[in-house]
């Protein structure tokens, strides 16, 4: 649950620098080891049940003992600040970055396979089966040695009750049939990797033997003529029966000798033939790997625009250079500019100084963050990646921060330039992390001053009803975030700025705060039209427990699982809307209902009334919520105050609203249109978002003094309920759905 910019997760011993990618099992972050200062990758697993976590932790501890140059080492194992399992590993280059240097080159492929098989042999001798070999688990260190990552992780994830294993073509036939893998299953996966590199991805797609799990009944696919010398080896590697395959990694590696000595091998680079060294396959030049590292750090540094860096570990995305000609070109340029084969400190120092000299020139010429890959920021950060704390690179970054302050002061008041200013601010925040303490403090002071100035400018524009100015300042106000005077927030300023352009709402406006109601429907209040948005009606109250109980009885809908925000242990309490962990009456707003539940309720209500009900959009919710009276928060709504008496709470209001958790609807103040509960009691699901992340708005009984009534919002999983989120419905008003009648008796 992403609740209103919740603090980022922390991994003890590491500073998380940049998110890389998220898979079905975990998220990867580029990180810095606080003890050594060296770059690393931290893999944080998603939340799982306790037994799964125990299995994974035991597997990681076993992997940490697999000391071999052909196996990616597991350095640290621990728990994040929110209780999830994580481990760290070195920052390595992904397989996709090297694929183009391997395709169709049998000698290089053979050298790669020998290295991988050496690592497998060591693991198999210790009783460890990988069970999930695929390209994303093949990584390269800076010397170009191939390494295998994630031994046994796929097997752990395939335990009963967990997601099924990857059904990709690298699985052996027996794994595809649901059987447990053994060492020969790993050898099959190595064979599939070799086939793809020898025949090409297009050949794999065309081959009927590899299109689906039906490979178990198919013959081994044929290699193209140029790789014909490999066919006998491939027949054994991809044999359907494990008994007909190579039986050990050593046997499989040994059989490569007859392949690589064949005169028909056809490699276009005979010099690529390398006798497998004692610690694995090394065929990538050091200069090329170092160049790729620089490219990666450049991509990482430019404004956070790239989804993931090229240098990855464990389960990386496809390398950016595969789809980015500019990045590919730079990789070639960077590699050619480096010494051909050297890892000496002096040559590395020369390269670092070269990066700094280029950065100084780019900065002098005004190329702070652009063009991509050829700007001062990327070169300074690349230099610091290889030489942390380098004084010249640090001084360059501090000079950039001073320039940024001047540029921001000159540009942010110019309405068309505020989006650019927001980007400059984000870039400055990232650079400041690499500056010395005085420069960091100066940037923080500037940041705080700018936040006040922008907040004051937004309020001035709102009071002048200058909606365009408020809209133009919005990107920078959100990026800071702006500090508003007099209890304002951005949403309130936007509403004030647009107030003068509210059009004549029509005859229904006279109904004012009088409730309306469809037959068999809830009490509604009318929200008038604006110049660019139609009128609608919204429920006077949140859906109550009694309302939801009627829906659940009529539809036999099963309760959603429910969590308490920021409490991973709450899943052990088996909370539901019937039993949310605290006492509720029938007139309390229902909680522990998911976004999916709320949508289903609206559909049921539409069928019941014959009118169109749904969740309000975020903008509609804001229109219905504006105009709350001023006064004590505990008079306006049910918020986090002294009545809750949580010993972990240090942000509660000092007043007492009389409700520790939820309170009955209509107990507190209503908005200008007459909607109750828009401030406090429960946050509310609203329409929008994406299939995996749905929005909610408003403060709840859990939210304290730092929360803004209209500005508070967040996202959460759509199929999970929360103890602080409920919902209300809105009623469409258009020519096909006229406004409901005013309810008698008000």
Three-state DSSP state, 39: strand
| CA neighbor of 520 nearest in space, from 447, 386, 611 | 611
Q: Give the domain CATH number at 256.
A: 1.10.510.10
Residues 461, 521: one domain? no
Residues linked to residue 14 through DSSP beta bridges, in sequence order: 33
Which is higher by pLDDT, 686 or 350? Answer: 686
The reported pLDDT for the residue numbered 13 is 87
For residue 302, being part of any structural domain is answered with no
Residues 488, 536: one domain? no
Omega within 30 of 0 (cis) for the link into 524:
no
pLDDT band at 722 (very low <50, low <70, confident <90, very high): very high
Q: Give the domain CATH number at 46.
A: 3.30.200.20
CB 398 within 8 A of CB 361: no
Tell me how crowded residue 242 is: count the other CB atoms within 10 A of its CB: 19
φ and ψ of 16, to 5 deg? -75, 120
Write the CA distances from 304 to 42, 195, 416, integer angstroms.
18, 37, 22
Buried b (16+ CB within 10 A) or exposed e, 440-458: bebbeebbeebbebbbebb
What is the SS3 string spanning 546-602?
Answer: HHHHHHHHHHCCCCCCEEECCEHHHHHHCECCCCCCCCCCCCCECCCCCHHHHHHHH
Beta-sheet strand order (sheet of 729-732) = 613-615, 729-732, 536-539, 523-527, 516-517, 741-742
Residues 578, 611: one domain? yes
Residues 174, 225: one domain? yes
Average pLDDT over every residue of 600-617: 94
The reported pLDDT for the residue numbered 196 is 86
Domain finish residue from 91, 122, 145:
91
Average pLDDT over every residue of 250-268: 72
CB 29 within 8 A of CB 39: no
Write the CA distances from 296 to 86, 92, 198, 409, integer angstroms.
23, 11, 28, 32
Average pLDDT over every residue of 401-408: 90
C-alpha–C-alpha distance, residues 432 and 695, integer Å: 32
With 50 as the cut, is the pLDDT of residue 681 above it?
Answer: yes
Give the pairing of strands 516-517 and 725-726: unpaired
Residues 457, 600: one domain? no
Give the pairing of strands 26-33 and 536-539: unpaired
The reported pLDDT for the residue numbered 503 is 37
The boundaries of the domain holding residue 425 are 327-496
Give the pairing of strands 562-563 and 721-722: parallel
For residue 319, being part of any structural domain is answered with no
Which is higher by pLDDT, 272 or 417? Answer: 417
Average pLDDT over every residue of 679-699: 92
Residues 419, 531: one domain? no
What string of DSSP letters covers 136-168?
Answer: GGEEE-TT-BEEE--TTHHHHHTSTTSPPPP-S
Q: Give the domain CATH number at 678.
A: 3.90.1580.10
Tokens linked to 430: 């990232």
The reported pLDDT for the residue numbered 203 is 52
Residues 35, 134: one domain? no
Residues 74, 128: one domain? no
pLDDT band at 298 (very low <50, low <70, confident <90, very high): very low
Domain finish residue from 496, 523, 538:
496
Percentage of the chain lying above the pLDDT 90 cut? 23
| CA neighbor of 139 nearest in space, from 293, 34, 355, 298 | 293
Q: Which of 457-466, 531-540, 547-556 has the lowest average pLDDT?
A: 457-466
The reported pLDDT for the residue numbered 727 is 97
**CB proximity list for 375: less than 8 A, separation 6 or greater:** 302, 362, 367, 368, 369
Average pLDDT over every residue of 56-63: 85
C-alpha–C-alpha distance, residues 472 and 138, integer Å: 47
pLDDT band at 744 (very low <50, low <70, confident <90, very high): low
Three-state DSSP state, 343: coil
Residues 512, 554: one domain? yes
Which is higher by pLDDT, 470 or 499? Answer: 470
Tokens linked to 187: 């050898």
Tokens linked to 323: 């789809």
Domain finish residue from 496, 520, 547:
496
For residue 300, being part of any structural domain is answered with no
| CA neighbor of 132 nearest in space, from 210, 192, 196, 55 | 192
Q: How many residues does the chain have?
A: 746
C-alpha–C-alpha distance, residues 560 and 562, integer Å: 6
Residues 515, 569: one domain? yes
pTM (2 d.p.): 0.41
As a dihedral over the C-alpha atoms of residue 517, residue 681, residue 479, residue 484, rounded to 10 degrees, the angle is: 100
For residue 346, being part of any structural domain is answered with yes
What are the pLDDT digits (tens) for 618-651? 989 999 998 888 788 888 899 988 888 765 566 7
For residue 321, being part of any structural domain is answered with no
CB 56 within 8 A of CB 156: yes
What are the pLDDT digits (tens) for 277-292? 444 455 454 334 333 4
CB 484 within 8 A of CB 457: no
Average pLDDT over every residue of 707-728: 89
What are the pLDDT digits (tens) for 117-133? 988 998 898 888 888 88
CB 554 within 8 A of CB 625: no
For residue 5, being part of any structural domain is answered with no
């Amino acid at each position: 649950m992403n609740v209103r910019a919740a603090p980022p997760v922390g991994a003890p011993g590491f500073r998380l620098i940049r998110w890389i990618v998220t898979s079905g099992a975990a998220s990867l972050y580029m990180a810095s080891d606080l003890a050594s200062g060296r770059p690393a990758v931290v893999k944080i697993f998603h939340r799982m049940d306790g037994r799964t976590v125990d299995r994974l932790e035991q597997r990681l501890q076993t992997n940490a003992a697999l000391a071999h140059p052909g196996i990616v080492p597991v350095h640290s194992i621990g728990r994040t600040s929110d209780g999830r399992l994580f481990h760290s590993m070195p920052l390595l280059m992904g397989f996709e970055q090297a694929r183009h240097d391997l395709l169709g080159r049998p000698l290089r492929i053979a050298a790669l396979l020998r290295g991988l098989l050496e690592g497998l042999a060591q693991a198999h001798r210790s009783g460890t089966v990988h069970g999930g070999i695929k390209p994303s688990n093949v990584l390269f260190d800076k010397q170009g040695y191939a390494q295998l990552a994630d031994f046994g992780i796929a097997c752990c994830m395939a335990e009963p009750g967990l997601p099924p294993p990857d059904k990709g073509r690298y699985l052996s036939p027996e794994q595809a049939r649901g059987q447990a893998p053994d060492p020969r299953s790993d050898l099959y996966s190595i064979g599939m990797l070799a086939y793809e590199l020898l025949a090409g991805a297009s050949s794999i797609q065309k081959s009927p033997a590899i299109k689906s799990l039906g490979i178990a009944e198919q013959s081994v696919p044929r290699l193209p003529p140029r790789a014909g010398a490999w066919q006998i080896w491939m027949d054994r590697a991809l044999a359907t029966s494990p008994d007909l395959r190579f039986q050990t990694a050593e046997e499989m590696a040994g059989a490569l000798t007859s392949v690589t000595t064949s005169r028909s091998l056809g490699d276009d680079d005979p010099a690529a033939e390398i006798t497998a060294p004692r610690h694995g396959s090394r065929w990538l030049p050091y200069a090329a790997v170092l160049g790729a590292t620089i490219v990666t750090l450049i991509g990482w540094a430019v404004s956070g625009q790239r989804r993931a860096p090229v240098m990855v570990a464990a389960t990386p995305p496809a390398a950016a250079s595969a789809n980015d000609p500019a990045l590919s070109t730079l990789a070639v340029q960077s590699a050619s500019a480096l010494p051909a084969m050297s890892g000496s400190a002096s040559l590395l120092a020369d390269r670092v100084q070269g990066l700094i000299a280029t950065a100084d020139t780019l900065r002098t010429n005004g190329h702070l963050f652009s063009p991509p890959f050829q700007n001062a920021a990327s070169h300074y950060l690349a230099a610091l990646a290889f030489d942390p704390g380098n004084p010249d690179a640090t001084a360059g970054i501090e000079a950039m921060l001073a320039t940024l302050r001047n540029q921001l002061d000159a540009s942010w008041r110019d309405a068309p330039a505020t989006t650019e200013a927001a980007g400059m601010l984000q870039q400055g925040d990232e650079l400041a992390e690499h500056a010395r303490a005085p420069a960091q403090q100066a940037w923080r002071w500037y940041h705080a001053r700018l936040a006040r100035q922008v907040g004051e400018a937004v309020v001035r524009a709102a009071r002048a009803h200058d909606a365009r100015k408020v809209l133009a300042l919005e990107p920078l106000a959100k990026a800071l975030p702006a500090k508003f005077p007099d209890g304002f927030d951005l949403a309130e300023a936007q509403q004030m700025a647009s107030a003068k352009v509210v059009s004549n709402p029509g005859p229904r406006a006279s109904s004012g705060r009088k409730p309306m109601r469809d037959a068999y429907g809830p009490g509604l209040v009318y929200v008038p039209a604006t110049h660019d948005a139609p009128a609608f009606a919204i429920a006077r109250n949140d859906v109550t427990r009694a309302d939801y109980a009627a829906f659940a009885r009529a539809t036999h809908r099963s309760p959603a699982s429910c969590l308490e925000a920021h409490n991973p242990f709450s899943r052990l309490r088996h909370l539901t809307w019937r039993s949310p962990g605290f006492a509720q009456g029938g007139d309390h707003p229902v909680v522990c209902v998911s976004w999916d539940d709320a949508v289903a309720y609206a559909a049921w209500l539409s069928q019941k009334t014959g009118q169109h009900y749904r969740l309000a959009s975020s903008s509609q919710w804001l229109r219905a919520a504006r105009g709350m009276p001023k006064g004590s928060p505990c008079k306006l709504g049910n918020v986090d105050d002294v009545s809750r008496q949580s010993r972990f709470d240090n942000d509660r209001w000092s007043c007492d609203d009389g409700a520790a958790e939820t309170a009955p609807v209509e107990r507190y103040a209503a908005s200008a249109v007459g909607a109750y509960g828009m401030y406090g009691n429960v946050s509310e699901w609203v329409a929008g978002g994406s299939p995996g992340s749905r929005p909610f708005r408003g403060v709840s009984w859990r939210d304290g003094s730092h929360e803004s009534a209209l500005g508070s919002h967040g996202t959460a999983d759509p199929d999970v309920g929360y103890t602080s989120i409920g919902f209300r419905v809105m009623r469409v008003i258009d020519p096909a759905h006229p406004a409901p009648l005013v309810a008698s008796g008000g």
